[in-house]
């Protein structure tokens, strides 16, 4: 059975997710759309659940048409769901993960446009219809957690309502892919793991080299960098001892090797600094504090200028910096003022908040080119109007 799949992602990262899927799963019919990549894999396997730049992955079951904005459309939805081969998709899902014979399930609906019903009406209508088709027990969100199992339901059905069409899909994993099993210690402003994985994919380069995160916080970026390239040497630093403790624990949970140190980002990395005996940097991948969700401290409390000024001395002849910043802060202009060359700007939207991923080359340093396959996917996304040269 050919099973189409839908991988969902942060807005603006579609081309990075497409590159990851293309590199790892020999897909056919790969298509980019806003916040998602659709494809058919050569075979279904648990390896699909290792996608790192995806927020979630679903097995597409089919589409119910004719679901208008009135409440009279709810019976139409129920009847349409009865015509889909949901049982076939469930059988295919068992190739990816184990499921009990008698399972519990929930339904999550995403609605676009004005409608005379809410998501709970859609979910309960679908739950009743699918419960009969699957011989499974539906647990409603409209009634609150109630008798939900401590670990959640066995299966989640997703409904995406666009216009009068309802796309129906089954979540591939037991939980959304953005929830990392290793990320058990966090604090304010901790980075969304798939965004950190996207930064790590941008940083991918033959030979790995020495990659540093001078503002590592809970360690999300260095852990994702180490998972993406086990050959890379990863250095992570932070001034906050508590967040550094979180980072060490998370890295241990992930089973990756990262060298953690407590340091002020304004202090020189070379000489007797953190890089002593380690050689020159190849890359920096970081999410600095912008005094929004997290305040800066130490000698960068008043601004990051001391950090940007000392950083170029830590690089070898070639290198790059990949950084994420809140949009509207003028970070690109500030970096140009410090002599950095901007080679890529990609806007993203996460939970309604606009940010920018910037790839820059330090002064007096030769740039590291973007991976050719990744660059091709970016151009394809731009040509398809999924993203623009600097945003979406």
User: Is residue 257 one of the residues assigned to a domain?
Assistant: yes
317 and 253 housed in the same domain: yes
User: Is residue 176 one of the residues assigned to a domain?
Assistant: no
Structure tokens at 52: 């790192």
Q: Is residue 5 a contact partner of residue 60, using CB atoms and an 8 Å limit?
A: yes
Alpha carbon 44 to its chain's center: 21
128 and 203 housed in the same domain: no
Residue 364 pLDDT level (bands cut at 50, 70, 90): very high
Q: Kindly give, in sequence order, each residue whose CB lies less than 8 Å from that of residue 165, ignoring residues fewer than 6 positions away.
A: 63, 64, 65, 67
Instruction: Quote the pLDDT of residue 292.
Output: 62
Last residue of a domain, one of 109, 141, 171: 171
User: Is residue 52 one of the residues assigned to a domain?
Assistant: yes
pLDDT at 227 over 80: yes
CA–CA gap between residue 348 and residue 370 (Å, rounded)? 18
106 and 197 housed in the same domain: no
Output the average pLDDT for the chain.
93
pLDDT at 309 over 80: yes
Mean predicted confidence (pLDDT) in 329-337: 94
101 and 21 housed in the same domain: yes
User: Is residue 323 one of the residues assigned to a domain?
Assistant: yes
User: Is residue 177 one of the residues assigned to a domain?
Assistant: no
217 and 351 housed in the same domain: yes
pLDDT at 107 over 70: yes
Structure tokens at 197: 């994985």
Structure tokens at 319: 């290198």
Number of folded domains in the chain? 2
103 and 149 housed in the same domain: yes
User: Is residue 57 one of the residues assigned to a domain?
Assistant: yes
79 and 161 housed in the same domain: yes
* Residue 92: CATH number of its domain: 3.30.2130.30
The range of the structural domain enclosing residue 298 comes to 193-383
Cα pseudo-dihedral 23, 17, 64, 72, rounded to 10:
170
Residue 293 pLDDT level (bands cut at 50, 70, 90): low
Stated pTM of the model: 0.94
Q: Is 283 strand, coil or helix? A: strand
The highest-confidence range among 136-150, 210-224, 276-290, by mean pLDDT, is 210-224
77 and 163 housed in the same domain: yes
Last residue of a domain, one of 124, 139, 171: 171
pLDDT at 83 over 80: yes
Question: Of 177, 260, 267, 178, which Cα lies nearest the Cα of 218?
Answer: 260
Give percent of the chain above pLDDT 70.
96
Q: What is the pLDDT of residues 191-213, one digit of tens each?
A: 999 999 999 999 988 877 999 99
109 and 209 housed in the same domain: no
More confident residue, 188 or 154: 154
Mean predicted confidence (pLDDT) in 294-317: 88
Q: What is the pLDDT of residues 33-70, one digit of tens each?
A: 999 999 998 889 999 999 999 999 999 999 999 999 99
Q: What is the pLDDT of residues 9-34, one digit of tens each?
A: 999 999 999 999 999 999 999 999 99
pLDDT at 337 over 80: yes
CA–CA gap between residue 33 and residue 257 (Å, rounded)? 36
pLDDT at 169 over 90: yes
* Residue 283: CATH number of its domain: 3.40.50.150
Cα–Cα distance list, 348 to 13, 143, 223, 324, 345 (Å): 7, 34, 21, 10, 10
Last residue of a domain, one of 171, 201, 226: 171
Helix (H) or strand (E) holding 235: strand 233-238
User: Is residue 188 one of the residues assigned to a domain?
Assistant: no
User: Is residue 319 one of the residues assigned to a domain?
Assistant: yes
Alpha carbon 195 to its chain's center: 4
pLDDT at 275 over 80: no
91 and 129 housed in the same domain: yes
Q: Is residue 13 a contact partner of residue 198, using CB atoms and an 8 Å limit?
A: yes
Instruction: Quote the pLDDT of residue 361.
Output: 98
30 and 65 housed in the same domain: yes
247 and 166 housed in the same domain: no
């Amino acid at each position: 059975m050919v099973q189409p799949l839908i991988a969902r992602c942060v807005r603006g990262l579609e081309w990075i997710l497409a590159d990851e899927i293309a590199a790892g799963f020999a897909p056919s019919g790969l298509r980019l759309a806003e916040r998602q990549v659709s494809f058919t894999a050569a075979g279904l396997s648990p390896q699909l659940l290792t996608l790192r730049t995806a927020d979630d992955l679903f097995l597409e079951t089919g589409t119910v048409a004719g679901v208008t904005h009135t409440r009279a459309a709810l019976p139409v939805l129920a009847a349409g769901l009865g015509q889909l081969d949901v049982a076939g998709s469930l059988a295919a899902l068992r190739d990816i993960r184990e499921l009990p014979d008698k399972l519990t399930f929930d339904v999550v609906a995403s609605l676009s446009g004005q409608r005379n019903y809410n998501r709970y009406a859609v979910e309960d209508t679908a739950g009743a219809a699918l419960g009969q088709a699957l011989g499974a027990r539906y647990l409603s969100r409209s009634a609150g957690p109630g008798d939900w199992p401590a670990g959640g339901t066995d299966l989640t059905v997703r409904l995406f309502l666009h216009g009068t069409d309802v796309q129906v899909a089954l979540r591939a994993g037991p939980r959304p892919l953005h929830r990392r099993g290793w990320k058990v210690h966090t604090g304010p402003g901790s980075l969304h793991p798939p965004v950190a994985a996207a930064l790590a994919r941008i940083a991918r380069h033959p030979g790995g080299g020495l990659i540093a995160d001078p503002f590592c916080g809970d360690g999300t970026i260095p852990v994702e960098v180490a998972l993406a390239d086990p050959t890379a040497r990863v250095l992570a630093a932070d001034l906050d001892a508590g967040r550094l403790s979180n980072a060490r624990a998370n890295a241990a949970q992930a089973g990756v090797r990262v060298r953690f140190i407590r340091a002020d980002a304004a202090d020189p990395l070379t000489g007797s600094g953190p890089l002593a005996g380690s050689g020159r940097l190849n890359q920096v991948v970081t999410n600095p504090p912008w005094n929004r969700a997290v305040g800066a401290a130490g000698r960068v409390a008043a601004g990051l200028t001391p950090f940007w000024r000392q950083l170029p001395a830590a690089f070898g002849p070639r290198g790059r910096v990949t950084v994420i910043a809140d949009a509207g802060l003028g970070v690109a202009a500030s970096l140009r003022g410090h002599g950095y060359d901007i080679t890529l700007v990609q806007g993203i939207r996460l939970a309604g908040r606009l940010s920018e991923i910037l790839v820059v080359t330090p002064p007096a340093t030769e740039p590291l080119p973007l991976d050719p396959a990744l660059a091709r996917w970016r151009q394809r996304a731009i040509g398809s109007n999924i993203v623009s040269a600097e945003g979406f």
